[in-house]
Amino acid sequence: MATAAGVSGTAADSRKQAGKKLVDNLQSDLRALSNEARRKYPPVKEAAESGILKVRTAASKAEDIIPALQAASVEILHPVILGCDTKNPKIVQICLGCIQRLITHEALSVPAGVSVVKMLWNLMESGLEELKLLQTVIILLTTNSIVQGSSLATSLVMCFRLYFTKDSTTINTASAIVRQLVTLVFERVEVEDETPPPEDMDAVRVESLKTVSGKAPASLRPCAKDAFLLFQDLCQLVNADQPQWLIGMTEMTRTFGLELMESLLSRFPEVFIKHPEFSFLLKERVCPLVIKLFSPNIKHSQRLVAPPQLGALDKPYFPISVRLLRVVCILIQQYYSLLVTECEIFLSLLVRFLDPDKPPWQRALAVEVLHKLSVQPSLLKSFCQCYDMKAHSTKIFRDLVNAIGAFIQSLFMQTSLHVPTQQQSGSNASQNPAQPSVLVAGMPVGPGVTPQAAFIYRGVWLPISSNYTPGITKPQILEMLEKVDAPPVPEGYAVSVAYACLLEVVRSLSIIMDGKPEPEACKQVVDTDSEKTALNRELVSSSWCGVLAALSLLLDASTDEAATENILKSVQTYASLCGMLSLTTPRDAFITSLCKASLPPHYMLTVLNPQGGATGNSSPPFKQGHVRTNSQNMAAAVNSAYQGDGDTKNQVVVVGTSLPTASLPIGAQQGPVMLTAKNLQCMRAILSIAHCHGGVLGTSWHLILTTLQHLVWILGLKPSTGGSLKAGRVADSQAVLTTAILTDIPVLSFMLSRLFESSQYLDEVALHHLIDALCKLSAESMELAYTNREPSLFAVAKLLETGLVNLPRLHVLWKPVINHMLEVCQHPHYKMREWGAEAITSLVKAALQHKHEPPLSEDPKCQRTILLPLQELSSILQADIRQKQLECVLQVIQHNGDGIGQGWPLILGVIGALNSEQGENLIRTAFQSLQLVVADFLAVMPCSCLRDCLEVAAKFGSQHQELNISLTAVGLLWNISDFLYQNREKIKTNLANNMENGSHGDKQPMPPFDALWMCLFSKLGDLCVDARPAVRKSAGQTLFSTIAAHGGLLEQTTWQAVLWQVLFPLLDRVKLESGTASTDRSDTSRGINILIHHSRDTAEKQWAETRVLTLAGVARVFSTKRQTLLNLGDFPRAWALLLQFIEISAMSHNAEISLSALKSLQEIIQVSKVTEEDQPVMNGESLDDVVLWTNAWKVWYNIGINSTTPPETNCMPLVYLPSQPYLTTLVQIVPVLFEHIKPRFVAADMSKLITVLRNAVSVPVHGEASPFIVPACYDGALTPLQETVLSVAHILHKEAMAGADNLRSMYPDMFRQLLEYVEFGVEPPRYGNLPTRSVMTMKNATVSSARWRHLSSVRRAARRWASLGL
């Protein structure tokens, strides 16, 4: 409060001081007036002195001096007015100074103001103090609003009349004051409108407005009435009619009137829009006036001979035309909502002004106006809404755009060649006349020449006169208000403005469709999205033909990098707008235009239109003017004329080869193709639109990718890791790159990669379009590659790159990409196959590494989808594909083995996809994977996959390409068996759970864990009959070791399967192979050049070893697992079958096999005589034992009698004699076997035994073996066979002495047996008809064999009799 009071007090003091100062000044002025008029004008002197008194009186009576002076202002002014009436210059100056003091301090009342105006009018008519008078008027009207109505009109008329005087200073001052006062009148309206109108205001009556009168509508307030009457009279004056309010106007020019109208219309749109009365003036006064004044401009055409009906007066007058177009521009820009119909007329007139038959300055004016309109998106939107979208209305927006395009084209249709001067081109060429600049396409190039930015087309050179700035207009012709005659249009100015106008149209359309805010005055409400979409589609449909034609022409003609860049951006923007609205035809047309601009001249005829006119439906108007010309086909001229200082955009930077296409016949050759810097700039634009607007390109992707493929080919870019493109080696590349482009190649490569990396931001539909286009492009390359032409790998590489960045959307891309890549992998061209496999393997590895949601471990279906392509590669027979596949599998296992989970069957299927045609390298690679799996990943592998792992390992064991791998594979089977044993509880549980989940009620033949072991045994059994001895031996050892070590884990019922599905079939197969083996020494090693011992130098000998190993192994199983096997229901049958195999083998003429068979028999019967508690017994023995040992005795007897019976022939080569170890082993079996059969041993059995023993002792020793068998000591020691025979006799004697009844009755047989042995000491036994002869050395003396036998037999008999107690 205190602060407010202080401020108020300060203001009062200041006002008081100003009042006192005014009083002093007034008194001083009046004194000066009195003194000056004292002699010649006494009345004035008296009035002045009276005025001094009145000033003093007024100042002394009131505390606030200025209001008191204002109240007495009429009386105070009386001497001043009298002084002005004297027309004395000095007195008039004093009086005007006094008046200005009163005006400045607002000390005049309304009547006083009226008096001042009248006084000033008189001075004006007298021609006195014109500048001082103008100064007073401006002060009077601008200080406050006491002057209104007719007084205001009088003041304005004074200024107008002074404007038309002859003094230039007065004219200039009056011109400025008139403009200021006219503006002031409307400013008062704005101030007046800020206060609420009175309630008793009259309503607007339109009928009363139609008649021009000096009376303002009653519906307006005072200030508005003045403004209404002023504007009305301005229209009257411009129309050459009499004013109704500005009474006293003697002359007026249309140019000045139009300028004033333009000023008011541009500055006070709110007044004209808010007040209907002013709006009426616009529609009924201004618009008809403008149309009327346009008439000469419309009718006139620039021809060589003027038609007779047009006179000189009908020619357009430049000053009027300029101002009319400025007014029209304002009407359209700011009053479009009021003047929709009228603006249609104006816009149609502007279109006609662009006709080629109009004067250049008029066309330039029109295009400047269109440029000013085009920077306002809301206007273009309104044009389309109000005209183009109406059924029966003129298509104004379409006509405007087409007119601009036609205008641009017409500028290039001149027949004369315009060559710029040195000054126009802005060059710094040498002044040496002996070195003139070289002209290329009408443009100076050469050393030291810097050409001006320009457009060149068909020999017409048009410089770009100004730089384009978005949203900014800088008209030149429209601003030439001081010109009376039409100025010459600067060369290139019109095309520069039209070029900017075209870019602004595209920019405005982009703003409209992006939904940016619009000015409220011009906003058209769009209610729904459907209406907005309809509007946007109409905007594009109405404009795309004209825009495309003009932009394509300018793009072709441009030699300036900045201009080209602006054009390319507009093309990109427009194409994206078409894409957003799903307008495929215009979108494809714009993209085609871009693509054509990026390729060399005429190259695109075969690339983008292979069927001829493929894009013909998209051709815009004016196409006949848009063809490639020398502006781009001048490489040779440029190269010879300059080295880079000239037109850098048309400078050849790359020379390469063309990519073969389907449109070219096979064998056709194309010459080298050249790319300019402008081509590469267009390439960047293509990359930009694809990167920024890929989501709306749709099927246009194919156009873009086709173009990029050709450009990449010409540039010599080759695919590298991950699908990116890099410059190839100089030696391999056919492209010649200039130094100007070397630094751009990595940039282009990066932009290409960035384009496809950005595909991760595309929606699924757009991504599908991209992938489809790449697949289609790749298919085209594949077709060309079938004809042995080098294919482009661009599409395959970019499919890979696209896939790698879109792994989060596996469901969208995986199937189409992988299916296509599988087709590529089957292509006969090795490069296509190589990159197809590279793509698949890279995608699989990346997909497995990617962090999916949900994780792959929880999504087996997705994991299977990822791994399935690797399996499908197995069906492709080419070695390079399989190599890539297997290397990928190895890397997958190394990096993702812990997370493969349910994908292991696929991985193992790929590893195990072996065939006989694969080379050693493939097998080694695959086996590395298997080794890694067995070594590190069995624990993480699902238990259901262990069987697959066994089968794959067995496959490697059976392959014949690499022996070491087969042997190592057998070792892997052992490792797997060890893993099964160590993790048996976990595996059993998991397999049982899996069986429960997958069971449908059917009873399983064996437990799943046992089934694993059965699979292992079966595979090892198969390897036991492999053609290679080393594999057979390793597999056999592993099989029987595994059964011995882990057989205890098997269920009882499983052992039956082991016997009948593994062991006995193995014995049978080995017997069959052994019986049919070759005895030829030339084919034992199967082509492997290795050193083999003589005992294994034939297939027969090698199979003998296998037979020995197999039979011994089976016998060992029966021996070690006897208690388990006894519980099998069919064990007697198994026992009998084993004995049968032993019997057959024991009677083999191969000493190794037969001896091993006996040892196997010896092993299986060497068990303690333990009767199972649960077995039924008969006479103290189980029923099964009776059968088993009876069979064993029969087999032993059969072996013995058949192997020891003397032969019938005496031909030594045909006789097979069993060896001493064989016979010894045969006899050694008897004591063990006798323990099991002695309760049932009868005389017949004794007789059989004695016969076998006698025959065994009678078998002569083979000569080759005699040094090892015949004892070398002189005391006649017994041979091992003899010792064994006597030990058997001793056992029989002991058993008989023990008191067994069946054995006591056999004493006579025993005695006969021993007597025969005694007889052998006297007479050596004969073995059939074979002659025997043997010589031995005893202490350097030769002794006959008969004598030695006698001595030894006697001693033996004596010892045995003594032992028997006889």
CA 81 to chain centre: 90
pLDDT value at residue 1273: 37
pLDDT score at 218: 82
Which of these, 424, 405, 316, lies nearest to 365 by C-alpha position?
A: 316
At 75, the amino acid letter reads E
- pLDDT at position 1095, please? 58
Q: How confident is the model at residue 604 (pLDDT cuts 50, 70, 90)?
A: low
Three-class SS state of 718: strand
pLDDT digits (tens, 9 = 90+) for 1323-1344: 777 777 766 654 444 444 433 3
Res 572 pLDDT > 50: yes
Asked if 989 and 1057 count as a contact pair (C-beta separation under 8 A), the reply is: no
Which of 488, 418, 486, 510 is CA-nearest to residue 455? 418
Confidence of residue 1292 (pLDDT cuts 50, 70, 90): confident
Least confidently predicted of 763-772, 902-911, 1085-1094: 1085-1094
Which residues contact residue 1099 at a Cβ distance below 8 angstroms, ignoring those fewer than 6 apart? 1077, 1078, 1079, 1080, 1083, 1084
- How far apart, in Å, are the Cα atoms of 161 and each of 166, 172, 197? 11, 12, 35
Alpha helices in 792-898 (DSSP H): 794-805, 810-825, 830-849, 860-872, 879-896
What is the structure's pLDDT at 741? 72
pLDDT at 927 over 80: yes
d(CA 543, CA 397): 7
Phi, psi of 1344 (to 5 degrees): -70, 150
Q: Tens of pLDDT along 717-733?
A: 888 888 788 876 544 45
- In this prediction, residue 607 carries a pLDDT of 62
User: Residue 925 carries which side chain, given as an amino acid letter?
Assistant: T
Asked if residue 1297 has pLDDT above 70, the reply is: yes
Model pLDDT, residue 311: 39
Please tell me which residue, 268 or 1129, carries the higher pLDDT value: 268
Give the span between the Cα atoms of 1201 and 1147, in whole angstroms.
Answer: 10
Residue in 1101, 970, 972 with CA at minimum distance from that of residue 1029: 1101
Query: What are 251-255's contacts with CB under 8 Å, separation 24+?
Result: 251/164, 252/160, 254/293, 254/320, 254/323, 255/319, 255/320, 255/323, 255/481
DSSP 200-213: TPPPP-HHHHSS--
* Per-residue exposure over 1256-1273, b if at least 16 CB sit within 10 Å of its own CB, e if not: bbbbbbeeeeeeeeebee
Backbone dihedral region for residue 582 (phi beyond 0: left; psi -120 to 50: alpha; all else: beta): left
Average per-residue pLDDT in the chain? 80
pLDDT at 299 over 90: no
Q: Residue 445 has which token pair?
A: 């190039």
The gap between the terminal CA atoms of the chain, to the nearest Å, is: 161
Asked if residue 1229 lies in contact with residue 1158, where contact means CB atoms within 8 angstroms, the answer is yes
Least confident of 483-492, 508-517, 1298-1307: 1298-1307
Instruction: List the single range of 766-775, 1046-1055, 1301-1310 with lowest mean pLDDT.
Output: 1301-1310
- CA–CA separation, 968 vs 974, rounded Å? 10
> What pLDDT score was predicted for residue 663?
65
Separation between Cα atoms, residue 138 and residue 143, nearest integer Å = 8
Q: What percent of the chain has pLDDT over 90?
A: 27
pLDDT at 293: 87
> How is residue 774 written in tokens?
């790449």
Could you give the CA distance from residue 740 to residue 738 in angstroms, rounded to a whole number? 5
C-alpha dihedral over 983, 984, 989, 990, to 10 degrees?
A: 60
Question: What is the per-residue pLDDT across 345-395, written as a single tens digit (0 to 9) for each?
Answer: 999 989 998 888 888 899 999 999 999 999 999 999 999 989 988 888 888
Q: What is the mean pLDDT of residues 387-415?
A: 87
The per-residue pLDDT for range 419-463, each reduced to its tens digit, is 444 344 443 333 333 333 444 444 555 544 567 888 888 888 889
Residue 89 has pLDDT above 50, yes or no: yes
* Mean pLDDT value of segment 211-236: 87
Question: Which alpha helices (DSSP H) does 38-145 contain, by range?
Answer: 42-61, 65-71, 73-85, 89-104, 110-126, 130-143
Residue with the bigger pLDDT between 57 and 634: it is 57
Task: Name which residue leads in pLDDT, 1141 or 2.
Answer: 1141
Q: Which of 496-500, 656-660, 883-887, 1211-1215 has the lowest mean pLDDT?
A: 1211-1215
Pairing of strands 1181-1182, 1335-1338: unpaired
- The answer on pLDDT for 1362 being more than 60 is no
Residue 276 one-letter amino acid: P
What six digits make up the tokens of 939?
Answer: 């624990």
- pLDDT score for 1018: 93
Query: Taking a C-beta distance cutoff of 8 angstroms, is the pair 877, 922 a contact?
Result: no
Which percentage of the chain shows pLDDT scores above 70?
81
CA distance 774 to 942: 39
Long-range contacts of 1255-1258, Cβ-Cβ distance < 8 Å, separation of 24 or more: 1255/1200, 1255/1201, 1255/1204, 1255/1205, 1255/1206, 1256/1200, 1256/1204, 1256/1223, 1256/1226, 1256/1227, 1256/1281, 1256/1285, 1257/1281, 1257/1282, 1257/1285, 1257/1317, 1257/1320, 1257/1325, 1258/1204, 1258/1206, 1258/1325, 1258/1326, 1258/1327
- Asked if residue 1364 has pLDDT above 50, the reply is no
Between CA 559 and CA 565 the distance in angstroms is 11
The torsion angles phi and psi of 457, rounded to 5 degrees, stand at: -155, 125
773 near 709, Cβ under 8 Å? no
Q: Which two tokens stand for residue 1001?
A: 């009620």
Closest residue by Cα to residue 594 from 619, 561, 568:
568
Check if the beta carbon of residue 96 is closer than 8 Å to that of residue 133: yes
Q: What is residue 507's predicted lDDT score, i.e. its pLDDT?
A: 94
Identify the helix (H) or strand (E) that includes residue 559.
Answer: none
- What does the pLDDT read at residue 80? 86
The length of the chain in residues reads: 1366
Give yes or no for residue 1151 having a pLDDT over 80: yes
* Listed range (266-270, 489-493, 1166-1170, 1297-1301) with the worst mean pLDDT: 1166-1170
pLDDT in tens, 742-791: 778 888 888 888 999 999 999 999 999 999 999 999 998 888 888 767 88
Give the confidence band of 55 by pLDDT, cuts at 50, 70, 90: confident
CA-to-CA dists, residue 57 to 20, 21, 65, 75, angstroms: 13, 15, 10, 12
CB 909 within 8 A of CB 929: no
- Residue pair 1077/1100 in contact (Cβ under 8 Å)? The answer is yes
